[in-house]
Amino acid sequence: MLPDAAIEKKTTFDPQRARKDFPILKQTAYGKPLIYFDNAATSQKPQSVIDALTKYYTDYNANIHRGVHYLSQKASQAFDDVRVKAQQFINAKSEKEIIFVRGTTEAINLVASSYGRKNINADDEIIISAMEHHSNIVPWQMLCEEKKAVLKIIPMNDDGELLFEEFEKLLSPKTKFISVVHISNSLGTINPVKRIIAKAHQHNIPVLVDGAQSVVHTQIDVQDLDCDFFAFSGHKMFGPTGVGCLYGKLNLLEDMPPYQGGGEMIQSVSFEKTTYNEVPYKFEAGTPNIADVIALGTAIDYLLSLDRKAIADYENELTEYASSKLKEIEGIRLIGTAKKKASVVSFVIDRVNALDAGMYLDTLGIAVRTGHHCTEPVMDRFKIPGTIRASFMFYNTKEEIDALVDGVKKAIKLLKK
């Protein structure tokens, strides 16, 4: 979490130096310098991560944990090392608590499917928040449908902040699970997950934290948070697509049935009886995404090589700067004005369609996201069809934000109905 004071403080972070690590940022779009403000959708990749992928396929591609040969041992070692890296990265107690998955979505589905099916029964209640991504809504809806359980929603205020007292009111003996987003992808709100977890634990209710957005912008300590599950994607933190992690407390994971069946997740198989492998392998059926896991390790190395406090301060500065500049423009309304926010500025323009504005910004080489950002209930809450979202990373600059502000002004001139 970022202290409030960080927002005020000017940083000495040098984005130009950081930009050099990301080859994609050197290019132009339609002959204009590319300005990438779609970081909440996916981050760009540093050269070291790209090189790690090439190196794996060039030097030591082999299937892991089975082969007795040189390449397999080398690949297995590299793969296993990443589990330890990921464990240290989020400060899990044991590397067994790290399960490799395709991303946050699969992590949540795994918990809903495995933990959920075993522990949720008819009339039980599951709590999520009003600002969840569809990936933290639909798996629970599916589970509720199957089990005749009930989904409860923590509401939020007009600034996009969760109402803690309303959350407390939702808690009851029927509450069996809570799944909540750490940082909202469409509003940027940083939720008080530690407080939510502490409260839930008073009632012995386990909590999953969706860390898709938070893992890159804040330092995660799962023991300090005391969350029961934590899900994140590699591609939003400079790693490749198709890989992510589920953290789960060991006792919970050990008690959960497997998610998918196949190779690797078994101890022995006969037609009469199959015994399952131990955690975490029990949850990793089939040949894993070896190359991308290894490159995720490189992405973790990259993140850890940075001064994360300085980066967080700088990203806050960018967010504040963009918010204040955009707010000055007549007809603009910021959506998501929480006191604690990270790296996302979502806005609507009076009488300008968000898609039209986003496409116009694209003609200027500026990449933003438009629409509901896979959080339709959030849009319904604010009674808007969608927003224009600019999301920042430390390789962005104030000059780029100036270009965005200028582009938005031009878009209004061109498009206002």
| Strand segments (E) across 76-226 | 98-101, 125-129, 150-154, 175-181, 207-210
Q: Does 386 bind another protein (CB under 8 A)?
A: yes
CA distance linking residue 163 with residue 180, whole number of Å: 13
Nearer to another protein, 273 or 417 (CB): 417
Q: Does 354 bind another protein (CB under 8 A)?
A: yes
CA distance linking residue 255 with residue 114, whole number of Å: 10
Q: Does 31 bind another protein (CB under 8 A)?
A: yes
Nearer to another protein, 31 or 173 (CB): 31
Nearer to another protein, 342 or 348 (CB): 348
320-339 residues near another protein, rule: CB under 8 A: none
Nearer to another protein, 258 or 365 (CB): 365
178-217 residues near another protein, rule: CB under 8 A: none
In whole angstroms, how close is the CB of 62 to another protein at the nearest point? 35
Q: Does 359 bind another protein (CB under 8 A)?
A: yes
Please choose, out of 102-110, 114-122, 308-316, 348-356, the segment that lies near another protein by the rule CB under 8 A.
348-356
112-171 residues near another protein, rule: CB under 8 A: none
CA distance linking residue 66 with residue 170, whole number of Å: 48
Q: Does 360 bind another protein (CB under 8 A)?
A: yes
- The tokens describing 166, both together, are 């309303």
Q: Does 33 bind another protein (CB under 8 A)?
A: no
Contact 101, 242 (CB under 8 A): no
- The tokens describing 348, both together, are 């609507």
Nearer to another protein, 42 or 91 (CB): 42
Residue 127 CB contacts under 8 Å (≥ 6 apart), including other chains:
151, 152, 153, 154, 167, 170, 171, 175, 177, 178, 179, 180
For another protein, which residue of 142, 364, 367, 384 counts as binding (CB under 8 A)? 364
Nearer to another protein, 260 or 363 (CB): 363
Catalytic positions, written as ranges = 374
Nearer to another protein, 52 or 388 (CB): 388
For another protein, which residue of 65, 80, 353, 377 counts as binding (CB under 8 A)? 353
- Sheet with 207-210, strands from edge to edge, namely 98-101, 244-248, 229-233, 207-210, 175-181, 125-129, 150-154
For another protein, which residue of 157, 172, 267, 363 counts as binding (CB under 8 A)? 363
Strand 207-210 and strand 229-233: the pairing is parallel
In whole angstroms, how close is the CB of 235 to another protein at the nearest point? 18
Q: Does 61 bind another protein (CB under 8 A)?
A: no
In whole angstroms, how close is the CB of 371 to another protein at the nearest point? 4
CA distance linking residue 398 with residue 406, whole number of Å: 12
CA distance linking residue 167 with residue 150, whole number of Å: 15
Q: Does 34 bind another protein (CB under 8 A)?
A: no
Residue 285 CB contacts under 8 Å (≥ 6 apart), including other chains:
258, 259, 260, 261, 262, 263, 264, 265
Residue 15 CB contacts under 8 Å (≥ 6 apart), including other chains:
314, 394, 395, 396, 397
Nearer to another protein, 149 or 366 (CB): 366
- The span from the first CA to the last CA of the chain, in angstroms, equals 41
Q: Does 24 bind another protein (CB under 8 A)?
A: no
Please choose, out of 79-87, 91-99, 204-212, 350-358, the segment that lies near another protein by the rule CB under 8 A.
350-358
In whole angstroms, how close is the CB of 356 to another protein at the nearest point? 5
CA distance linking residue 358 with residue 365, whole number of Å: 11
Q: Does 355 bind another protein (CB under 8 A)?
A: yes
For another protein, which residue of 34, 356, 367, 377 counts as binding (CB under 8 A)? 356
For another protein, which residue of 6, 138, 266, 415 counts as binding (CB under 8 A)? 415
In whole angstroms, how close is the CB of 354 to another protein at the nearest point? 7
Axis crossing angle, helix 398-415 with helix 308-327, rounded to the nearest 10 = 30
Q: Report CA Rg, the chain.
A: 22
- The tokens describing 400, both together, are 């780029």
For another protein, which residue of 84, 371, 377, 409 counts as binding (CB under 8 A)? 371
- The tokens describing 310, both together, are 């300085």
In whole angstroms, how close is the CB of 349 to another protein at the nearest point? 12
Interface residues toward another protein, by CB under 8 A: 30-31, 353-356, 359-360, 362-364, 370-372, 385-386, 414-415, 417
